[in-house]
Amino acid sequence: MPASESPLVSVVIATYNRPAYLRSAIASVVSGDYRNVEIIVTDDLGTDVNREIAAGFADTRIVYHRNQTRPGAGSNHFQAFRNLVSGEYVSILNDDDEWEPSFLSKLVPGLVDNPGVVIAFCDHYLMDENGRIDLAATEENTRRWRRDVLSPGLHQPFWRCLADESLPISQASVIRRDAIDWQDFPAEVDVFWDLWLGYLACRTEKACYYLPERLTRYRFHSGSLTTTGSGRGGLGLIYVYSRLIAVPELAALRSGLKRKCASAHLSHGLFLLQKRRAREARKHIWNAMLLMGPTPKLAGALALASMPGTLGIGMLTALRRARRG
């Protein structure tokens, strides 16, 4: 299909203050072999450097938008989807990730040729903070999210892809814009907005399209969500899994979802314990027990959270040091 007849794709790059990574992310779209795109750089109230980087490409397809307040990553994305994009399809590129040149040209046809498809996605590489691809970690990542056994082509419905976390919304997907309710973004999902977006896509009961090629590069570094621990985002993960547990179409997968929700409760409970908020920590660990039943691991965590003073925190720290050692 000639570029002039191709559907317009809106690429949303939400950014804050990672100028070196942002430049590489934009460059990977600009140099791609799919040309009919608009590139929305939506700045979460970062420095003027972000604007200068976007302007430095001198590419009319790039639109720079600076928020007047700092809404956070999830709201930054959803505000862009609601108010800034014009494409028939939308795609997310994290400001610290990069695309292969053929990312869009290989995924967009999966949507164009199949009107019943709401999302097309692929696998991705893992790279370090310097852009070096880690093939061993990439292979492990593919197996971890079961993309090595996920069949190519159409899946309908695709709830299992979401439950298995095979669906890499913010790393490697293109989405049919008018199929998603972009107004449905609860603040509770917090940093797990992309998992919530997967839920919205599944809720359409349309199909997804999987291409088993690695067409993006996901960067692991000290500031990425994957490496920053549960923190405040733990509540977002608990919220999303709690919603998924209640979905009738996921009844057959409910036990696995309960395990994931329990794990999120436990992780957040231990995070709270480290913050000396033992009473709140015990509540989350109890919730994990309600979902999974008592286990030695949960019983041990509850014992730590029930110790007087900072004794539990000290023992938790010592256990983690020993485990790392």
Domain harbouring 122, CATH code: 3.90.550.10
Q: What percent of the chain has pLDDT over 90?
A: 73
Mean pLDDT, the chain, integer: 90
Is the same domain home to 152 and 73? yes
261 Rama class: left (phi>0) / alpha (psi -120 to 50) / beta: alpha
Q: Distance between CA 13 and CA 256 in Å, rounded?
A: 33
Name the band, by pLDDT with cuts 50, 70 and 90, for residue 1. very low
Which of 185, 202, 227 is the endpoint of a domain? 227
Name the band, by pLDDT with cuts 50, 70 and 90, for residue 231. low
Is the same domain home to 135 and 250? no
Question: Which comes out higher in pLDDT, residue 18 or 216?
Answer: 216
Q: Residue 222: its pLDDT value, please?
A: 63
Is the same domain home to 180 and 77? yes
Which of 227, 250, 285 is the endpoint of a domain? 227
Q: What percent of the chain has pLDDT over 70?
A: 94
> Per the structure block, which two tokens stand in for 75?
């709201």
Which of 206, 227, 248 is the endpoint of a domain? 227
Q: Residue 97: its pLDDT value, please?
A: 96
Is the same domain home to 200 and 267? no
Q: Tell which residue, 221, 218, 228, has the closest CA to residue 191.
A: 228
Is the same domain home to 46 and 114? yes
Q: Is the pLDDT confidence value at 290 over 90?
A: yes
Is the same domain home to 256 and 119? no
Is the same domain home to 259 and 139? no
Q: Is the pLDDT confidence value at 12 over 80?
A: yes
> Per the structure block, which two tokens stand in for 168?
């890499």
Q: Tell which residue, 41, 129, 45, 136, has the closest CA to residue 80.
A: 41
* Residue-wise burial string across 133-154, b where 16 or more C-beta atoms lie within 10 A, e elsewhere: eeeeebeebbeebebeebeeee
Q: Residue 233: its pLDDT value, please?
A: 64
User: Which range is least confidently modeled, 83-92, 205-214, 315-324?
Assistant: 315-324
| Number of domains comprising the chain | 2
Is the same domain home to 140 and 283? no
Name the band, by pLDDT with cuts 50, 70 and 90, for residue 171. confident
Is the same domain home to 186 and 264? no
Q: Distance between CA 42 and CA 80 in Å, rounded?
A: 7
Q: Residue 229: its pLDDT value, please?
A: 43
Burial class (CB in 10 A: 0-12, 13-18, 19+), 196: buried
Is the same domain home to 315 and 195? no
Is the same domain home to 221 and 241? no
> Per the structure block, which two tokens stand in for 268?
């957040």
* Structural domain boundaries, residue 303: 233-324
Q: Taking the CA of residue 182 as centre, how many other CA atoms within 13 Å lie in the half-sphere pointing to its CB?
A: 17
